[in-house]
Amino acid sequence: MPRLPQAHAALLPALGRRQGNAWLLTGPARLGKRSLASVVAALHNCAAPEEAGPCGECASCRAAALGAHPDVLVLSPRSVTSTGKAARRKIIPIGAVLAARDRDKDYETHVYEFLEVRPTYRRRVVIVDGAEHLNAETANALLKLIEEPPHGALFLLLAEDVRSVIPTLVSRSGRVGVPPVPPGDLARWLALEGQEVEPELLDFAAGRAGLLSDVDAVRAALNEARSLTDAVREGLWAALEAAAALEKTFSPALHPEALRFVWRTEAAAVRAGADQALEALLEVLEAYANPGLSFQVFALALREAFGA
């Protein structure tokens, strides 16, 4: 199971108490809420739980460490369409909860069927990673289970903003704000994981432990963002070549933020123009436009924004 930074491990004593049927964990994207939820699930199933967390040695903890615990089910919003393209609007449909409503058989395990089975260890746990993406029908189906959970099941609802979660779910859940991790704590946590990082990466993470779960990917994204920015200033052909290279590695979840981080020291007018160009790129990519042409247009727009 994942090791937690101290700022998140400090929440375990409260989250480990067997009170209530649901916790709502809120905080910015990639803060580390999913890792925290995994440890909370392990804690509720541990044969010898400790104040600091699960023992890490019992059969349940060993299963959790393998990432295949029989008493834990994770629900996440769809990120791709049936044709394999990125989904324009993420959603957790009713089919994730009810097998009879899963027409395309997208889910191997459904919540109702999962909870019908008694726990192998101590408690069935359902982690909803993206509670803001539950539509009303799905949320109402889960609400019935939260109010009367089979076999005392526990629900861990994760969301970036409590205001985006359907109010009835909020009212039935204990609420915990997951805090950003202080830089010193984050550096120590990474060192324990065998990762030594430069101050720039800690600045970029801004306390989000989950963002640094793949340090190499973050470092590469920052380097690619810096290369594109330098190329934009160098000349037209350099900008077009750098944009074409970025297209091959571009991650909507990482590169836009990396670009904005690199641009943070630019003049306000430059940042505004560059951000407008980036937003236009993301919109056309979301509409499945030709990516090669889209990145070329992006490079031209950045040249204009930078006055090059």
Q: Please tell me the predicted confidence (pLDDT) of residue 307.
A: 92
**Is there a single domain that holds both residue 52 and residue 166?**
yes
Q: Please tell me the predicted confidence (pLDDT) of residue 88.
A: 53
Residue 267: left if φ>0, alpha if ψ -120 to 50, beta else—which one? beta
> What does pLDDT average to over the chain?
92
**Is there a single domain that holds both residue 169 and residue 220?**
no
Q: Please tell me the predicted confidence (pLDDT) of residue 85.
A: 47
Q: What angle do CA 279, 277, 272 make, to 5 degrees?
A: 95
Decide if 294 is inside a domain.
Answer: yes
Decide if 230 is inside a domain.
Answer: yes
Between 129 and 193, residue with greater pLDDT? 129
Is residue 216 exposed (0-12), middle (13-18) or buried (19+ Cβ within 10 Å)? Answer: exposed
Q: What tens digit of pLDDT does each residue of 116-126 get?
A: 999 999 999 99
Q: Please tell me the predicted confidence (pLDDT) of residue 83.
A: 43
Decide if 194 is inside a domain.
Answer: no
Q: How far is CA 19 from CA 16, 99, 139, 152, 304, in A?
A: 9, 29, 21, 10, 58
**Is there a single domain that holds both residue 128 and residue 231?**
no
Containing domain of residue 77, as a range? Answer: 6-179
User: Which of 154, 179, 204 corresponds to the end of one domain?
Assistant: 179
**Is there a single domain that holds both residue 166 and residue 236?**
no
Between 52 and 245, residue with greater pLDDT? 245
Decide if 195 is inside a domain.
Answer: no
Percentage of residues in the chain with pLDDT exceeding 90? 81
Q: What tens digit of pLDDT does each residue of 196-248 get?
A: 889 999 999 999 999 998 999 999 999 999 999 999 999 999 999 999 999 99
**Is there a single domain that holds both residue 49 and residue 172?**
yes
* Token pair 């097998």 in the structure block, residue: 99
Please name the residue ranges forming H helices in the chain: 6-9, 12-15, 33-45, 59-65, 111-116, 136-147, 167-171, 183-192, 199-205, 215-234, 236-249, 255-262, 268-286, 291-305
Q: Please tell me the predicted confidence (pLDDT) of residue 89.
A: 65
**Is there a single domain that holds both residue 242 and residue 144?**
no
Tokens of 9: 């491990």
Q: Please tell me the predicted confidence (pLDDT) of residue 178.
A: 97
**Is there a single domain that holds both residue 157 and residue 74?**
yes
Tokens of 289: 């436009």
Q: What pLDDT band is residue 96 in, cutting at 50, 70 and 90?
A: very high
Decide if 200 is inside a domain.
Answer: no
Looking at the predicted structure, is the pLDDT value of residue 82 above 50?
Answer: no
Q: What tens digit of pLDDT does each residue of 5-39 get?
A: 999 999 999 999 877 899 999 999 999 999 999 99
Decide if 233 is inside a domain.
Answer: yes
A 10 A CB-CB count for 123 gives 18
**Is there a single domain that holds both residue 19 and residue 102?**
yes
Q: Please tell me the predicted confidence (pLDDT) of residue 159.
A: 97
Decide if 96 is inside a domain.
Answer: yes
Q: Please tell me the predicted confidence (pLDDT) of residue 79.
A: 60
**Is there a single domain that holds both residue 14 and residue 133?**
yes
**Is there a single domain that holds both residue 175 and residue 220?**
no
Domain containing residue 158: CATH number: 3.40.50.300
- At 221, which amino acid appears? A
Number of helices followed by number of strands (H, E) in the chain: 14, 5
**Is there a single domain that holds both residue 166 and residue 220?**
no
Instruction: Indicate yes or no: pTM above 0.85.
Output: yes
- Rounded Cα gap, residues 101 and 117, in angstroms: 20
Percentage of residues in the chain with pLDDT exceeding 70? 96
Q: What pLDDT band is residue 296 in, cutting at 50, 70 and 90?
A: very high
- At 179, which amino acid appears? P
**Is there a single domain that holds both residue 116 and residue 253?**
no
Residue 264 DSSP one-character state:
G
Decide if 147 is inside a domain.
Answer: yes
User: Which of 127, 152, 179 corresponds to the end of one domain?
Assistant: 179
Structural domain count of the chain: 2
* Radius of gyration of the chain measured on its C-alpha atoms: 22
Looking at the predicted structure, is the pLDDT value of residue 80 above 50?
Answer: no
Q: Partners of 53 in the beta sheet?
A: 50
